[in-house]
Amino acid sequence: METASEILVWVVWVGAATALFASGLAVISFSNPFFSALALIVNLAALAVLYLLLEAEFVAAAQVLVYAGAVIVMFLFVIAYLGGRVDAPWAGETSLQTFASVIAAAAIAVEVLVVIVMRANDGLSNSARISDAFGSPQSIGELFLSDHLIAFEVTSIILLVAAIGGVILGSTVPREQRAEGRH
Amino acid sequence: MLGPGIASYLIVSVVLFGIGSLGVLVRRSPLIVLLSLELMLNSANLTLIAFSRHVGGEDGQIFALAVMVVAASEAVVGLGLIVAMSRFTVDLDVDKLRMLRG
């Protein structure tokens, strides 16, 4: 029984990690941003599966609702509004900048990987035992309204400021267009 | 804890961060740069949640939810900037935005 569930968790984990990498590579390689945004939805769903394996049920639900439900829809609206202007074909030649970017990204990844592998057998083994209520909406809500009340209120101010900024940026009209009277 | 240990989640997260940073550095469309930024923020979230499970406290999950709010705000402002760029008929190419260069 124990080995069966162990194998099941491994299968789900490998599937989610593969989907995560494949969709992440798809996000950065499509020339049409519409398909990139769709690939990001797959990426977020795979991440939500990993969150569930880490006993973070509430965060997984919030991830699917907030990201796939709100942020990606916003992206898709902007892509649809701008139409063909947002197509981003790959540059024909690989410039020195591309080469340096690949090296920089690989360097960051390798540095952190080395540290993780060095620490994998002492600090990172033996995870804490947790109760069944870990990560449930009830316990997250309790923490939000007790220990992290200020963070909770500050995030609402950030959202308000971002909403105002979005409206102001979205309603800016160039001077020549304003003079012609077409808004 | 069933299945893979915390280190394997951290490795997944750092590879995802590498993919995201590659996207930010290589692509020139501001929309795809924003999408790659979301990838990087999400990989940081995965790290926070993995360590939250490892330590056995839920504060890491609170952090992850706060990061989600910041990511949503960043997407709003970034998309507003892209719409404003298109209104001012500027090329949607981050390499061609040189107005502020002296």
Question: Could you tell me how many helices (H) and strands (E) chain B has, helices first?
Answer: 3, 0
**Are B76 and A166 a contacting pair, CB within 8 Å?**
yes
Residue B92 domain flag: no
Tell me the torsion sign for CA atoms B14, A15, A38, B61: negative
Token pair for residue A16?
């989610």
In a domain, B80, yes or no: yes
Taking an 8 Å cut-off on Cβ atoms, the answer to whether B56 and A134 are in contact is: yes
Residue B42: left (phi > 0), alpha (psi -120 to 50), or beta?
alpha
Task: Give the tens place of pLDDT for each residue, B20-66.
Answer: 999 998 888 889 999 999 999 999 999 999 999 988 888 999 999 99
Q: Is B94 on the interface with A (CB under 8 A)?
A: no
Q: Where are the domains of chain A?
A: 1-87
Asked if residues A140 and A58 have their Cβ atoms less than 8 Å apart, the reply is: yes
ipTM: 0.90
Q: Which CATH number fits domain A1-87: 1.10.3210.10, 3.40.50.12280, 3.40.190.80, 1.20.120.1200?
A: 1.20.120.1200
Please give the residue of chain B at the shortest CA–CA distance from A61. Answer: B65
Q: How does pLDDT run across A112-152, given as a tens digit for each residue?
A: 889 888 887 777 777 778 887 888 888 899 988 999 999 99
Which structural domain range is residue B67 located in? Answer: 6-87
CATH code, domain carrying B48: 1.10.287.3510
- Residue B93, in any domain of the structure: no
* Residues A98, B70: C-beta atoms closer than 8 Å: no
A50 with B6: Cβ contact below 8 A:
no
Query: A98, B2: Cβ pair inside 8 Å?
Result: no
- Enter the tokens of residue A69: 């439900």
Least confident of A25-39, A133-147, B83-97: B83-97
Report the domain count for chain B: 1
- Three-class secondary structure of residue B2 per DSSP: coil
List, as ranges, residues 129-158 from A with C-beta within 8 Å of B: 129-130, 134-135, 139-140, 143-144, 147-148, 151, 155, 158
Residue B75 belongs to some domain of the structure: yes
